[in-house]
Structure 1
Amino acid sequence: MSIQNVELVLDAKATLAEGPSWYAKEEKLYWVDIIGQKFGRFDPATGENEDYSIGEHVGAVVPAGDNKVMLATQSGFQWYDLLDRKLTALIDPEAHIPGNRFNDGKCDAQGRFWAGTMDNAEQSESGALYVLDTDCSYRKVFDGVGVSNGIAWSLDEKEMYYVDSMKKLVYSFDFDAERGQISNPQVLIDFRDEQGFPDGMTIDEEGMLWIAHWDGWQVSRWNPRTKQKLSSIAVPAAKASSCMFGGKDLDVLYITTARKGLQPEQAADQPHAGGLFAVKPGVKGTKTYSFGQA
């Protein structure tokens, strides 16, 4: 089953749009252009988008209170004030690995920021997954990562799901919500028989996973209990990079895409690659959490 009614909502022409994060208080969607070295704040009500230039690769953005966000960037975790457009460095867990950068991240229900790294050249498995606690201390929780990507939690918060795009695997972990700890990694979904690579990910109110297919022209829905692919949404861009539910009723699935690596003839066939798309898939999503539960 494929749902085709995807709408272009922002023709951003981003090189590598990623990491959408819905901020319900503002009813706006935050997202990053990793290679464009910026993040955006999109207002679906007006169709307008504000860009905030960072000056370095930025892999993830999460709300952190009024007019403030937390970023995971080339040089670690950083605060950003949207009013004065000021960037304040917090901590760089991988200052000793200059070839690495942060790639994707998300907050859990307790307000912790989980974000992972990758080799910017995409050659080695030098990445790792970190968690930034609400007191701004950090921990490394998983290593040997190729390309750290999508994160989601089960509805009962007893499991965490995690994508390593380079390995084409989706993992599940036992999750201790009180302590913010993961254990017992297992391969949940093997993507090697799927079209493209697993990328960004979210979960809906029925506990089903939604996974963007990089080089796969789609976003797919999976049952983590049966490990079965249930359906897919065709995307008019090969490099679907991530997805996140938003809208007042959390019934809109926003999809980010990329232009990175497209040859001229490929770009001509997908003129809106690098844009933000939206679709109502008939199921609602789950809440996006802010850093520090702000």
Structure 2
Amino acid sequence: MNHNKYEVVLDHACQLGEGPVWDADQQRILWVDILPGEIHSFYPASGEHRIFKTGQMTGAIALLPSGNFIAALQHGFHEISLENETVVPIADPEVHLPENRFNDGKCDPAGRFWAGTMAVDERPGAGALYMLDNDQSVSIKVENVTCSNGLAWSLDHQLLYYIDSPTRQVVAYEYDVTTGTIANKRVVIQFQEEDGFPDGMTIDEKGMLWIALWDGWKVIRCNPNTGERLQQIDLPAARITSCTFGGDSLEDLYITSAKTGLSQQELAEQPLAGCLFIVKNTGIKGIPTHGLPKP
């Protein structure tokens, strides 16, 4: 089933838009533009759009109870206050790998922040997936990663779903919510070359995965139990990067995209590349954003 009622949220194109997060408390959508190191916030009710520059490439953010963020920047984990305009380092597990940067990240059901890395030049196997625990210790979860991307946890908190984009796979690990340990990797969804590359993803209240397809022009909804494709949202940009549910009832799907790496001809053919899109009233609810716990 196709669903094509997308709208453009605002007249701004990111180089590499990614990592959308719905902030229910402030009724705003947040996302990052990785390459210039920007955190974007947009308030649908007022139409206000704010941009904060972090000073380095910015892969992902997660909400803190204080209203601040944990961010995965090029050089490690930081706490960021948009109000105070501060960027405070927490830990850099790859201080010895200055040619790497952090990419996608997300909080797990226990409030730990997971984020993965990749080489800036995208060389194979240079990255890893890390977990920042609630005591701010960092552990490595998956090694030999090329482009660490989408993360989601099953509704019963028994599985971690994960994407290393060049594999064209979504894999599942058995996941222990108490300790954060993962084990027994298996492939649950396999994409083909014509699909593009799986990128960011989110999960809905029925446990189905919504997966953005880089160079695939779409978001697809898949059943991770069977691999079945349930529906797709076709979009006017090739490089679709991630998605998340937002709005009052968590039935609006926000979708990020990118224009980096496109030729002049491709940019002319895709004037909306890099924009933030929304599909309103999907009829399916997301789940509330996992955030870090109150101390």
Q: TM-score, normalised by structure 1?
A: 0.97
Letter of the 2:96 counterpart: H
- Residues 152-183 of structure 1: CA deviation (Å, up to 9, x unaligned): 01110101100110221111000101111111
Q: How far apart are the structure 1 equivalents of 2:287 and 2:193?
A: 28
Give the equivalent residue in structure 1 for 2:66: 66
Identify the residue that residue 292 of structure 1 maps to in structure 2. Answer: 293
The answer to whether the 8 A contact 2:152-2:201 is kept is: yes
How far apart, CA to CA, are the structure 2 residues paired with 1:32 and 1:193?
27
Percent of pairs with identical residues: 46
Is the 8 Å Cα contact of residues 256 and 275 (structure 2) preserved in structure 1? Answer: yes
Deviating above 6 A after TM superposition, structure 1's stretches of 4 or more consecutive aligned residues are none
Look up the match of 1:23. 23
- Measured in 1, the distance between the counterparts of 2:203 and 2:261 equals 28
Partner of 1:187: 187
Unpaired segments ≥5 residues, structure 2: none
Q: Contact 1:110 / 1:293 at 8 angstroms: preserved in 2?
A: no
Residue pairs, 1:90-105, within 5 angstroms = 90-105=90-105
Question: How do 1:43-62 residues align onto structure 2 when only pairs under 5 Å count?
Answer: 43-62=43-62
Gapped regions of structure 1 (runs ≥ 5): none
Q: Once the 2 structures are TM-superposed, how far is the Cα of residue 110 of structure 1 from its aligned partner?
A: 1.3
Query: For the residues of structure 2 that align with 1:24 and 1:199, how far apart are their CA atoms?
Result: 24
More displaced 10-residue stretch of structure 1: 38-47 or 237-246: 38-47
SS at match of 1:291: coil
Distance in 1, Cα, partners of 2:49 & 2:246 = 16
Whole-angstrom CA distance in 2 between matches of 1:158 and 1:99: 34
Write the letter of the residue equivalent to 2:38.
K
Q: Distance in 2 between matches of 1:236 and 1:213?
A: 12
Task: Return the alpha-carbon distance in structure 2 between the equivalents of residues 178 and 11 of structure 1.
Answer: 43
Maintained 8 Å contact 2:151/2:163: yes
Distance in 1 between residues matched to 2:71 and 2:158, nearest whole Å:
26
Q: Does 1:225 align with 2:229?
A: no
Q: Distance in 1 between matches of 2:53 and 2:63?
A: 16
Match of 1:9 in 2: 9
Give the C-alpha shift of residue 200 in structure 1: 0.3
Give 2:207's aligned amino acid. G
- Aligned to 1:152, what secondary structure does the other structure show? strand
- Identify the residue that residue 164 of structure 1 maps to in structure 2: 164
Aligned 8 A contact 2:71 2:80 in 1: yes
Q: How does 1:233-252 map to 2 (within 5 A)?
A: 233-252=233-252
Q: Is the 8 A contact 1:23 1:30 kept in 2?
A: yes
Task: Give the partner amino acid of 1:209.
Answer: L
Q: CA deviation at 1:292?
A: 2.8
- Give CA-to-partner distance per residue, 1:131-158, whole Å, 9 cap, x none: 1111111110111111000100111010
Matches of 2:219 and 2:115 in 1, distance apart?
21
Deviation at 1:194, TM superposition (A): 4.5
Change in CA separation of 1:224 and 1:48 when aligned onto 2, cut-off 3 Å? same
C-alpha contact (below 8 Å) 2:109/2:153 kept by paired residues:
no
Structure 2 length normalisation: TM-score? 0.97
User: Letter of the aligned partner of 1:171 in structure 2?
Assistant: V
- Paired residues of 2:111 and 2:292 also in contact (CA < 8 A): yes
How many pairs does the alignment contain? Answer: 294
Residue identity opposite 1:99 in structure 2? E
SS of alignment partner, residue 7 of structure 1: strand
Per the alignment, in what secondary structure is the counterpart of residue 166 of structure 2? coil
Q: State how 1:205-284 maps to structure 2 within 5 Å.
A: 205-279=205-279, 280-284=281-285
In 1, the alpha carbon distance for the partners of 2:13 and 2:36 equals 10
1:200 maps to which residue? 200
Give 1:11 shift: 2.4
- The amino acid across from 1:275 in the alignment is C
Letter of the structure 1 residue corresponding to residue 291 of structure 2:
S
- Does the 8 A contact of 2:188 with 2:226 survive in 1? no
Instruction: Tell me how far apart the structure 2 counterparts of residues 14 and 134 of structure 1 sit (CA, whole Å).
Output: 31
Residue 166 of structure 1 aligns to a residue whose secondary structure is helix
Q: 2:119: which partner in 1?
A: 119
Deviation at residue 281 of structure 1 after TM alignment: 2.1
Say if 2:59 and 2:105, in contact at 8 Å, map to a contact too.
yes
In 2: Cα distance, 1:270 partner to 1:98 partner: 33
Query: Do the aligned partners of residues 243 and 293 (structure 1) sit closer, same or farther apart at CA in structure 2, a change above 3 Å counting?
Result: farther
Change (3 A) 1:193 1:293: farther
Contact 1:221–1:232 (Cα < 8 Å) also in 2: yes
> Given the superposition, is the C-alpha separation of residues 293 and 109 from structure 1 closer, same or farther in structure 2, using an over 3 Å criterion?
farther
Higher deviation after alignment, 26-35 or 185-194: 185-194
| Aligned Cα root-mean-square deviation (Å) | 1.2
